[in-house]
Amino acid sequence: MPNFLLTAPSTGGFAGFFQQYGMLLIILIMLPILYFVMIRPQRKQEKQTQEMRNNLKVGDEIITIGGIVGIVISTNGKDAITIVSSRDKTRIQILRSAVSKVQVPAEGQDEAKPQQTK
Domain boundaries, the chain: 11-53, 57-103
For residue 98, what pLDDT is reported? 95
Q: What is the CATH number of domain 57-103?
A: 2.30.30
| pLDDT score recorded for residue 38 | 93
For residue 9, what pLDDT is reported? 56
Query: Which of 26, 75, 53 lies closest to 83 in space, CA to CA?
Result: 75
Could you read off the pLDDT of 72-87 as tens digits, one per residue? 999 987 889 999 998 8
The reported pTM is 0.63
Point out the residues of the chain with pLDDT beneath 50. 108, 111, 116-118
Q: What is the pLDDT of residue 118?
A: 41
